[in-house]
Structure 1
């Protein structure tokens, strides 16, 4: 099982499982921008030796100033963190909810953070027949009345790739709920301005928006994310944060990549072309693909004897292609996988390996019936 530690992208485990070096895998199990880091990152690494002997800015002022200008909000409304995972954990600790509503399937870190503070979970089970879309009806049918409603929602959601409509979140807020919206993959959405709630979070003390910088800029080794809420809420979160949580290299890279408009445009152009192409090819192989608004797709495998996500992961791994077994997400059965969307030549490798594996499972089925 590649998800030994709960996430994709674990190349060390892949090496141990399949007996080949990490650089010989094509990794579809983690959802990084396949263009690789912007050129600035390489230059920053080369010059970083001159600064490594100095403490990082404890307030991360340079990056906060750039993000404030980008979003048109006050710097005091922004907290920089050691990746989105730290900010999820900090928010749950600060709010300390009695019950947390989660829409399953969702990012496992939500549940992990909630369990750490012994909060209960009110599950909202998203339905495959509805494309795993979060609707008002789903919320009303699956949650019980709570004095202080608290929701953690992904938009786009991981692993489904579905956006949550802002009107639904606004309705929850108007009803007295506190809402955390994880927008870790929002940068990949061309209509970001229509769906992101960053600006609204800066003026609403019951709304928290979390953003990641590692996925879009392909820098997962540099843990970097940020949170937006009112100055009062951000100040409370900062009191819980470990000093120097964000190292100086992350701060330098974070400031630099925000200036690369050409990289952002190239990324959106690539995804606009590649996502529909890959979805069409996957459907041509008999897989059911959940509509996605971001850089990964959730698929359901065709019904074949012995074909499960775990079995397919093993067969694909032997061929040097890593995929995510999505059955580990609450609410999904053993027929679901998640694939990142990569560059065309890598996507073709995915499709070739998938076709081979599916043919093998079909052949095994025929042999057993003869």
Structure 2
């Protein structure tokens, strides 16, 4: 199984599974910005490698100040971490919820963090007939059973933003709400939808941001969390010392000022996303409309294709796709792919078309 360790982007497992060097894969299983990393990242690696003999700033002053300025937030409301993964785990350890409400499907690390802290899960289903948009009626029905709601905004793997009715209802419910905005940078009207500023002054609202997806630096591990200063202080007490390394701090401080890169990314996605959605639909696939840089789609039942069939075939052709049936709430027809540059997307579509034609023609048998 390509997702042996629970995520996409595992080129080492792909190399073992499909018998080709990891450098030869087109990776559609992880959702990185194909325009990145920004050029300034290369400059930092070239100029700052000698400085790794020094300890990093233990409280990440420079990056924290730049994030505060960028989003107009009190620096005391920001904590930088070793990727969003560390911050997901950290906020759950601080809040210690007895029960956590999760939309299904959603990112598996929410559940993992809750189980590690000894808490239970309350599932809130997302339905295909609603385009996987969370419904307030489904949330409201579970309010009495939940201490904490942990929700993607936008959600992974569906790419859907939370409706304002859901957010406002939860803010009024006296439950703690944690929003994972790991992909919010890709949303066209980011400032209108993000809850960062509100979280900085609201005791029961917390927002987590990743810096690895938009700036395409997942190997560095970098993210930040915004919450009321009292909650940030409690998180600081549990965070591992020197969690954010020197190069991550330098790169983070540089990329948040890359306004041209940000504009170029949104301009690229504005063109490429609708084009790719239309091309996938022309293949007969059922595509979920997305606000971000990845797409969830399913093979129609008439095709009698499973995502594992597709993943196996395409992996042998050097293209990695995400088996979305591993997200609770989705069946074995669902696949998630990143949106990449046009030439790569054309290659993806060519191989996908070949697979579908060969599979349906040969009655479920493909020749990789």
- The TM-score, its normalising length taken from structure 1, stands at 0.97
Q: Distance in 2 between matches of 1:219 and 1:324?
A: 20
SS at match of 2:156: coil
Unaligned runs of 5+ in 1: none
Instruction: State yes or no: 1:261 paired with 2:292.
Output: no
Q: Map Cα deviations across residues 186-221 of structure 1 (whole Å, 9 max, x no partner).
A: 000111111100000001010000000000000000
Q: Deviations over 1:113-134 (max 9, x none)?
A: 0110121111001001110001
**Aligned-partner SS, 1:16:** helix
SS at match of 1:102: strand
Q: Secondary structure at the match of 1:334?
A: coil
| Structure 1 pair 366–136 and aligned structure 2 pair: CA distance change class (3 A) | closer
Partner of 1:149: 147
Instruction: State the distance in 1 between where 2:84 and 2:256 align.
Output: 17
Q: CA deviation at 1:170?
A: 2.2
Distance 2:38 2:144 in 1: 47
Given candidates 203, 218, 222, the residue that maps to 2:216 is 218
Aligned to 2:236: 238
Asked whether the equivalents of residues 83 and 212 of structure 1 are also in contact (C-alpha less than 8 Å), the reply is yes
How much has 1:304 moved relative to structure 2? Answer: 4.7
Q: Which residue of 1 aligns with 2:39?
A: 39
Partner of residue 8, structure 1: 8
Counterpart Cα distance in 2 of 1:170 and 1:203? 15
Provide closer, same or farther for how the CA distance between residues 163 and 305 of structure 1 changes in structure 2, counting only shifts above 3 A: closer
RMSD: 1.2
Separation in structure 1 between the aligned mates of residue 215 and residue 303 of structure 2, nearest angstrom: 40
Question: What does residue range 153-164 of structure 1 map to in structure 2 within 5 Å?
Answer: 153-164=151-162
Q: Distance in 2 between matches of 1:366 and 1:193?
A: 47
Alignment-derived partner of residue 110 in structure 1: 110
Residue pair 1:166, 1:196 contacting (<8 A) in 2 also? no
- Whole-Å Cα distance in 2 between the matches of residues 319 and 19 of structure 1? 10
Q: What SS class does the counterpart of residue 52 from structure 2 fall into?
A: coil
TM-score, reference length from structure 2: 0.97
Is there any run of 5+ residues in structure 2 with no aligned partner, and where? Answer: none
Equivalents in 1 of 2:120, 2:161: separation in Å?
25
SS in 2 for 1:79: strand
Deviation at 1:173, TM superposition (A): 1.5
